[in-house]
A and B are shown apart, each in its own frame.
Chain A
């Protein structure tokens, strides 16, 4: 490498190390507060601002938009550090990253300049408003209408389960314009936007989840992201792909934290004169859990490599990583609750909170079942690729 290339590589390595160290430090500083946020049902606004100042949000954006150009691997490691402490805080990192990625990839120059620095700094909290009563996995069924009216566009519809929807400063809304999918940014202070905070849901309790009513909300036409018709396949597609990626790593962090907690508890807890860890079934559970956690982490690292190489297979690799990591987090957190016994079921149980959050992770950004369909598609495509590349003689 010449000197310039070396300097660029060094700068990138420093940015990555800073992103990971920043996330680790931030996670440590809030570790004792996360259970309280879950019980209170709200991440404090000051924490949202602090996360932005600490460089946790959309740090993969280029420097001119307020990021540090962090690599996919660094973004993932940062999400894992936060996920090991609080899934609701990791969900903030996820939604900021989703909306930033979609606007950066498909938004106009004006939209990028207006919103990306605010998303990276945490001055603007983002929401992704896609799901509706009749459109969950099948987002092409969205009924929210986007109409062209004199000089602006008007949006009418009802969106459900919007993470950070109760406090979002800007929402990426998926609807239909002239019958085809459209994506549009809606500022949180527009008249006609009503928010209904959701309380007491299974997981992500501190993530300001809300249902949203958009009643003829008007925004400028320039708020449309990407040409009409590409709001779902490209804009929502980019957002969801990025979301799956940080969810995957967040689940790895959660699974690692649960596995450590279960192992430490089993090694110290004595009942009937026997340490829990000296029971064969408990040891078996610990071994199984370590394999699940390590496998999920390696799938996340593979997704990071393919994303960095801009490989077309990165999309599927990310689905696989998210699928494996959510299942690992659910399995290991369930085992951690089991080995903790009554303490695992207590109101202040951290592993209990992780079990609730991990269960949600097996559903959002593509359920286990939908992920399996995509992964099977990929397997069939790969088989076609092999069949063409290498003629195989089949014995009859």
Chain B
């Protein structure tokens, strides 16, 4: 799929920019990289599932039940770190 990153290379800056764009869509303005988007109440109740679908499809990873930890999802930097760790674990980076 053209909107997916190639499985071999996803430099952190590009990963961060892509995640930033997704978060920016959900909020009135681009959140700070370490701003807790859930605690600040700027996203709707459907956002959590949309975020899971977004990282799975965009970065070709699978979010497993054990990955459900707010530490993985609450900020732009957290999602980027989670994505990179999943890709590294899958041998993609």
Chain A residues near B (Cβ < 8 Å): 105-108, 140, 225-227, 229-230, 232-234, 237-238, 241, 309-316, 319, 374, 377, 381, 384-385, 388
Given A374-B46, A384-B24, A385-B25, A230-B68 contact (CB < 8 Å): yes
When distances are taken between beta carbons in the complex, the residues of chain B under 8 Å from A238 are: 49
Tell me which of A225, A315, A319, A377 contacts B53 (CB under 8 A).
A315
Tell me which of B45, B57, B66, B69 contacts A237 (CB under 8 A).
B45
Tell me which of B1, B44, B57, B68 contacts A377 (CB under 8 A).
B44
Q: Are B48 and A234 within 8 A (Cβ)?
A: yes
When distances are taken between beta carbons in the complex, the residues of chain A under 8 Å from B52 are: 234
Distance in angstroms from A391 CB to nearest chain B CB is 15
Given A227-B69, A312-B57, A377-B44, A234-B49 contact (CB < 8 Å): yes
When distances are taken between beta carbons in the complex, the residues of chain B under 8 Å from A385 are: 25
Give Cα A377 to B42, complex, Å. Answer: 11
When distances are taken between beta carbons in the complex, the residues of chain A under 8 Å from B25 are: 381, 384-385
Q: Are A312 and B24 within 8 A (Cβ)?
A: no
Q: Are B49 and A381 within 8 A (Cβ)?
A: no
Q: Are B70 and A314 within 8 A (Cβ)?
A: no
B93 CB within 8 Å of chain A: no
- What is the count of residue pairs linking A and B with beta-carbon distances less than 8 angstroms? 63
B interface: dominant SS: helix
When distances are taken between beta carbons in the complex, the residues of chain A under 8 Å from B70 are: 229
Residues 1-33 of B at the A interface (beta carbon under 8 Å): 1, 21-22, 24-26
Q: Are A241 and B69 within 8 A (Cβ)?
A: no
Show 24 residue pairs from A and B whose CB-CB distance is below 8 angstroms, ordered by the A residue: A226-B68, A227-B68, A227-B69, A229-B68, A230-B68, A233-B48, A234-B49, A234-B68, A237-B46, A238-B49, A241-B49, A309-B57, A311-B53, A312-B22, A312-B51, A312-B54, A312-B57, A314-B53, A374-B44, A374-B46, A377-B46, A384-B25, A385-B25, A388-B21
Closest 9 CB pairs of A and B: A233-B48, A312-B53, A312-B54, A312-B50, A230-B68, A381-B25, A237-B49, A227-B68, A106-B65
Give Cα A105 to B68, complex, Å. Answer: 11
Distance in angstroms from A389 CB to nearest chain B CB is 10
When distances are taken between beta carbons in the complex, the residues of chain A under 8 Å from B49 are: 233-234, 237-238, 241, 315
When distances are taken between beta carbons in the complex, the residues of chain B under 8 Å from A315 are: 46, 49-50, 53
Chain B residues near A (Cβ < 8 Å): 1, 21-22, 24-26, 44-46, 48-54, 56-57, 65-66, 68-70
Give Cα A106 to B46, complex, Å. Answer: 16
When distances are taken between beta carbons in the complex, the residues of chain A under 8 Å from B57 are: 309-312
When distances are taken between beta carbons in the complex, the residues of chain A under 8 Å from B65 are: 105-108, 225-227
Distance in angstroms from B36 CB to nearest chain A CB is 14
When distances are taken between beta carbons in the complex, the residues of chain B under 8 Å from A227 are: 65-66, 68-69
Least CB separation from A241: chain B residue: B49
When distances are taken between beta carbons in the complex, the residues of chain B under 8 Å from A311 are: 53, 57
When distances are taken between beta carbons in the complex, the residues of chain B under 8 Å from A310 are: 53, 56-57
